[in-house]
Amino acid sequence: RAKQAGRNRISFFSAEIEEAIRTRHTLDQKMRQAIELDRFEVFYQPKYDTAIDTIAGVEALVRWRDEDGSLISPAQFIPLAEDNGLIIQIGRFVMRTACLQGVKWHSQGKLLRIAVNVSPIQLMQPNFIEFVRAVIAESGISNHLLELEITESVLAHDTNTILETLNALKREGVSIAIDDFGTGYSSLAYLKRFPIDVLKIDQSFVRDMLVDQLDMSIVEAITMLAKGLGLRLVAEGVETLEQAEALKALGCKIMQGYYYGRPQPAEEMSKLLGVS
Ligand code: C2E
Ligand code: MG
Ligand code: MG
Ligand code: MG
């Protein structure tokens, strides 16, 4: 009987695994199709500079439009795209689209910084610098208005390749931002070693900073760190006026979050900027 139960358990688990593999394979196929059918879109979320009361920049965030018109969130498909390599193509599309849109806004008198998320997989591509250079040349975007958001996990690898890539980007005049700062496994030593321009306080700290003293202390420490190191600072996930006020009081001036605007299509963003 024990043997029987054991066998059942094994087949139960393998059925589950088989199911997971099937689901994954289906999503994989769907993603390839979506690329062919141009089902990916770029949304833009404002970054608001409270010191000058203006939208100073936008973050480009990819969206996948399903056949039924609904949106599939990047949290659902970016990890798979990183595994199956399609993040390279998707990431290229996002950077091209965002730079072209940026140039359009710049020509309309809105000198916004354009921030684009870059996956570690992209950053580790040997031809990544050439790609960025080509996008800058083809779009005509001012290099100093392009900002690449990377996560701490990239820097945890701490390889010479990553260092060389970031230094090369720096030479291209592009800014480097650390996304979700404070959540990754990392040592602060990388702030000395890598050419970083911006820290983005992770939204988890901002969310609870007014109710949890520990989160408040972390936000305070990151603010001081940015000031001491001469880095620009952006708070993510600002949802209320109270959070914005508290951040301002600590010296953080640039805010990103639903309180200032949700990620939205370029046309909506243009309206918000008053250029449509
Ligand atoms: P992220 O780069 O940290 O982007 C911020 C995320 O927080 C976005 O989620 C945004 O919609 C969300 N957010 C902004 N303000 C608020 C707020 O006030 N409250 C809350 N609760 N959330 C807020 P989204 O667009 O779903 O993207 C999730 C993640 O997917 C991004 O996190 C980024 O890591 C990744 N991602 C998005 N687009 C791309 C892309 O083009 N390439 C790559 N490699 N990754 C991307
Ligand atoms: Mg980001
Ligand atoms: Mg983030
Ligand atoms: Mg994130």
Evaluate: CB of 202 within 6 angstroms of ligand 1: no
Check if the beta carbon of residue 147 is closer than 8 Å to that of residue 116.
yes
**For residue 4, what pLDDT band results from cuts at 50, 70 and 90?**
low
Evaluate: CB of 58 within 6 angstroms of ligand 1: no
Whether the pLDDT of residue 90 is over 60: the answer is: yes
Evaluate: CB of 119 within 6 angstroms of ligand 1: yes
Distance, CA 59 to ligand 2 centroid (Å)? 7
Distance, CA 246 to ligand 3 centroid (Å)? 19
Evaluate: CB of 61 within 6 angstroms of ligand 1: yes
> What Cα–Cα distance (Å) separates residue 163 from each residue in 82, 97, 116, 201?
21, 27, 19, 22
Evaluate: CB of 62 within 6 angstroms of ligand 1: yes
Whether the pLDDT of residue 47 is over 70: the answer is: yes
Specify the length of the chain in residues.
276
Evaluate: CB of 102 within 6 angstroms of ligand 1: no
pTM of this prediction?
0.93
Q: Which is higher by pLDDT, 187 or 244?
A: 244
Check if the beta carbon of residue 67 is closer than 8 Å to that of residue 119.
no
- What pLDDT score does 10 carry? 62
Scanning the structure block, which residue is given the tokens 């209320």?
240
Check if the beta carbon of residue 118 is closer than 8 Å to that of residue 111.
no
| Ligand in closest contact with the CA of 149 | 2
Distance, CA 224 to ligand 4 centroid (Å)? 22
Whether the pLDDT of residue 18 is over 70: the answer is: yes
